[in-house]
Amino acid sequence: MQTLINRFFKYIKIDTQSDPNNEAVFPSTEKQWDLANLLVKELKEIGMQDVSIDENAYIMASLPSNVDYKVPNIGFIAHMDTSPDFSGTGVNPQIHENYDGKDVVLNEKENIVMTTDYFDDLLMYKGQTLITTDGTTLLGADDKAGITEIMTAMEYLIAHPEIKHGTIKIGFTPDEEVGKGAHKFDVEKFNAEWAYTMDGSQVGELEYENFNAAGGRVIITGKIVHPGYAKNKLVNSMTIAADFIKALPAKEVPEHTEGYEGFFHLHTMKGEVEETELYYIIRDHDLEIFEKRKALFQKVADDLNKELGEDLIKVTIKDQYFNMRKKVEPVMHIVDIAEQAMKDLGIKPLIKAIRGGTDGSQLSYKGLPCPNIFAGGHNFHGKYEFVTVESMQKATEVIVKIAELTAKKYKN
């Protein structure tokens, strides 16, 4: 457990926030190289083979098979960047040993408290070693917990050759949080038949379905004149933006949806009279409904333009990723192996759909089927993020068990 803590703390103290506005550059922030270079050094130190890092900061490594029969190469993948939505600079983790099940004071000076009434997931971890933020940054468990677990599992397998396994491939990616994590991932070079992203939340999560996703950008053009002489002349782009927002279904937003329900999420907005920009993320698990959502998004703009008498609203919709279920279902044995690994370790599998996406969704469409497994963190992308050491330990054990079960499955 102390190895996990030390390794996790080392990673989260390195700021690796990605930048959604730097679309042409990989990685989108120079500081992601700081963690990438550390991981390359560490992979070599623990004894991994074929360690490489390319010009875009994609890291790959291999643990050779220790059996004398053919076993499919499998992989484990995690991402290095943290969300651009909340500060990852100066992370100062707090350890709460033998968590007592009560509200957690993150920052006494600022009166920042994580309450069990609001964050009832905390109660699942009573008695465990809780790691939280100090209330001023995110934690970075998404996905440095995943990296910690993969590194620790590989180190354990190297130290315990009595555990039989086939060849295991490791991949660490940049820019997952801005939707580019798999864009330049070389599936052929990775050379695995399937893989697992360690990027889920609660202990037991096992996911092979995710949202279909698109980004919708809305640019609204206005005209500014002196407000004292504005009648029939001034066109306020911000009030038109308000009409656009109100025209979309009010209840089909993240705060009113769950399970398989999709949504329109106004992610960012900035505006003045002359121009307002809205950025939405559009999500749905069902591909047909997803296409209808995109069509409705465009129709709202078209209808408002007709009312206005000119095309003041311009919409751009860009697909981001698709539901991996289509690519994983033909090879469901890879989910079955992970499910059995959890059961063998006394973990109740929670097989459900991701209300989001992972690198695995894009990788599945690139020819690398890639379900998602829990990494243990909660409340990602903000100051209330937390993880327990016991959750990371269980995730590490699942990685080891999957490697072991895969070798057993293909033994002659």
The set of catalytic residues is 81, 176
User: What does the chain come to in residues?
Assistant: 412
| Cα distances (angstroms) measured from residue 254 to each of 202, 257, 287, 347 | 19, 5, 18, 29
CB 220 within 8 A of CB 244: yes
93 upstream amide cis, omega within 30 of 0: no
Angle at 318 between CA 33 and CA 237, to 5 degrees: 105
Cα separation of 40 and 61, whole Å? Answer: 9
The radius of gyration computed from the CA coordinates of the chain, to the nearest angstrom, equals 23
Cα separation of 271 and 313, whole Å? Answer: 13
* DSSP state letter for 378: B
Beta bridge partners of 281: 215, 265
First-to-last C-alpha distance (Å) of the chain: 36
39-46: list long-range contacts, CB under 8 Å, 24+ apart: 39/80, 39/147, 39/151, 39/172, 42/151, 43/151, 43/154, 43/170, 46/151, 46/154, 46/155, 46/158
Nearest one of 17, 22, 50, 21 to 35, comparing CA atoms: 17
Q: What values do phi and psi take at 154, rounded to 5?
A: -65, -40
Q: Where on the phi/psi map is residue 309: left (φ > 0), alpha (ψ -120 to 50), or beta?
A: left
Q: Where on the phi/psi map is residue 148: left (φ > 0), alpha (ψ -120 to 50), or beta?
A: alpha
Amino acid at 327: K
Which residues are CB-contacts of 66 (< 8 A; sequence separation ≥ 6)?
161, 164, 165
